[in-house]
Amino acid sequence: MNSLVVAAISFLGFILAYRFYGEFISKRLFNLDPKKKPPSHEFEDGVDYVPTKRSILFGHHFASIAGTGPIVGPAIAVIWGWLPAMIWIVVGSIFMGAVHDFGALVISARNQGKSIAEVSKSVINPRVRTLFFFVILFCLFIVIAIFAMVIAQIFFLYPQTIISVWLQIPLAVFLGWRFYQKGSLRPGANIMLWSLFALLVMYLTIWVGVYIHENIVELRIPSEWALTIWVIIILIYGYIASVLPVWFLLQPRDYINSHQLIVILALLILGLAVAHPDISAPAVNANPPGAPLLIPFLFITIACGAISGFHSLVASGTTSKQMDVETDAKAIGYGGMIMEGVLAILVLLACGAGLGEAEFAAHYASWEVAEGLPEKLDAFVSGGGNFLSSYGIPIGLATGILGVMVASFAGTTIDTAIRLQRYVITELAQDYNVKPLATKHGATLLAVGSAAALALAQGGGAGGLILWPLFGTTNQLLAGLALLVITIYLYKKGKPVIYTLIPMIFMIVMTISALLLNLRDYWSTSKWHLLVIGAIVTILAIWAVIEAVNVSVKIRKNQRT
């Protein structure tokens, strides 16, 4: 099969879905109201609650949900064949992920910008809220540690990216200064012009980094300590970024990254059109050596590219507090996930077609080889670099461009994840009257400190890998629980629930199936820490479902009487 044909079919499906299904969901389920006062105006504080133009907020939201998730997932899952991965990305994004993100954003915006976990208290009951919070804390705990390691690995594998990635920070601060005055948008601020200028400067710094690395001095520091030091520096940066007002660094950096994404998508699509290679990966490979079962693990491995619980945390955490008008939710929530599906398809094709047959065979010889995080980042960067080089971009520069994109998006995810963890800790501390953790710095210190302890528990800052095997299932469990809350919310409002009920049942069944299979493996291999934590997560999930079913039965009885 030719890669260009696969891309065309997928992209057409995404366009039609946004135009018709997104509009249907918007009107049929949520009845978006442009006159409803959103939390950004009701609680405007210039720090977290900041009314933000749709284009800027889309950039923040997309950069936060993207990270390396839509890269790593498809880059691993192609080992089962490109066809199952493509179907799951397209169908999952349209009917599950986009509805999930959209619903979490709207419900949070209609509940004072509270997290989806806090909203579950009023939608279901306080016990589910507590269960939900513990799952979220665990998930974000791993995310922060792992993404710090990912950025450190990018710097180690592609040292030419270091200069550009760090220079993005002063560029973003400059944009924040140009756009805002005391948290409010400056009158007449030409956002597009200045952000394009910043993007141009950023690409110039990529060229400078590549030139220095290739012609002047080798930037690589071949030491495990170098990775550890990078992880520490990244976590310190994350602490600072997450307590600053969102308009100062987070929003403008995300705006640069949203433009960077558009450029990257255009470059990859152009390379795909010019090279249009046949796909090297098999259409279906149900039993790769050492790999787990295709079903249910395909739906756990590809998360951010189809549906991801982390998205509900972003939508109900930072995005809902910045949404200017409720009707922006469709473009940001539904549209953001559709755009991520586009990226996931391009990653799938970069790995499945951008790599030649020999390269693909080397990267995907077995599950043990395919599952490695550095190997998958390299598979995408190498395959995508081949796309870009097909029309004349030097391979060194192409590698630098894609490496910077991966590190930039991972950095944005770090910023957002730490801020989200701070929100969660603060909400829990307020509920249980733990005053030191109810403060901005107290909650952030716990968020960063706990993740640092995990990251540094293993050499090279790779401690997050200790719990990484549980991340996929925990993340997808969050998606199922978020859909559970959305479904009960719609049920109480008398809205049709079939559009969220089926995705919710599917995700919970697949996730718990994967959890149980993993628990069996952890038992047989004596991985007791994973066994205990995995068992606790499984129990929490089943408990939350039982609570929701009981609430549904009570609602039904009340409706009959």
pLDDT bucket at 247, cuts 50 / 70 / 90? confident
How far is the C-alpha of 69 from the C-alpha of 250, rounded, in Å?
19
pLDDT bucket at 551, cuts 50 / 70 / 90? confident
Query: What pLDDT shows up at residue 372?
Result: 63
What are the structural domains, with CATH classification, of the chain? 3-276+296-360+372-560 (1.20.1740)
pTM: 0.89
Instruction: Return the amino acid letter for 279.
Output: I
Tens-digit pLDDT profile for residues 29-42: 999 988 888 999 99
Given a contact cutoff of 8 angstroms between Cβ atoms, the answer to whether 17 and 88 are in contact is no
How far is the C-alpha of 545 from the C-alpha of 535, rounded, in Å?
16
Q: Which of 55-64, 212-221, 352-361, 504-513 has the highest mean pLDDT?
A: 504-513
CA atoms within 13 Å, Cβ hemisphere of 419 = 29
Tens-digit pLDDT profile for residues 293-334: 999 999 999 988 899 999 999 999 889 999 999 999 999 999
Say whether pLDDT at 361 is over 70: yes
Say whether pLDDT at 47 is over 90: no
Q: Which of 152-166, 245-259, 273-287, 314-328 has the lowest mean pLDDT?
A: 245-259
Say whether pLDDT at 464 is over 90: no
How far is the C-alpha of 459 from the C-alpha of 48, rounded, in Å?
35
Query: What pLDDT shows up at residue 289?
Result: 85
Say whether pLDDT at 560 is over 70: no
Query: What pLDDT shows up at residue 183?
Result: 62
Q: Both tokens of residue 222?
A: 């071949």
As a whole number, the mean pLDDT across the chain is 87
Given a contact cutoff of 8 angstroms between Cβ atoms, the answer to whether 39 and 112 are in contact is yes
Burial 310-325 (b: 16+ CB within 10 A, else e): bbbbbbbbbbbbbbbb
pLDDT bucket at 104, cuts 50 / 70 / 90? very high
Q: How far is CA 156 from CA 159, 230, 318, 338, 539, in A?
A: 6, 9, 30, 31, 39
Query: What pLDDT shows up at residue 182?
Result: 63
More confident residue, 522 or 189: 522
Angle between helices 69-77 and 54-66 (to 10 degrees): 40
The continuous run of DSSP H or E covering 185 comes out as: strand 184-185
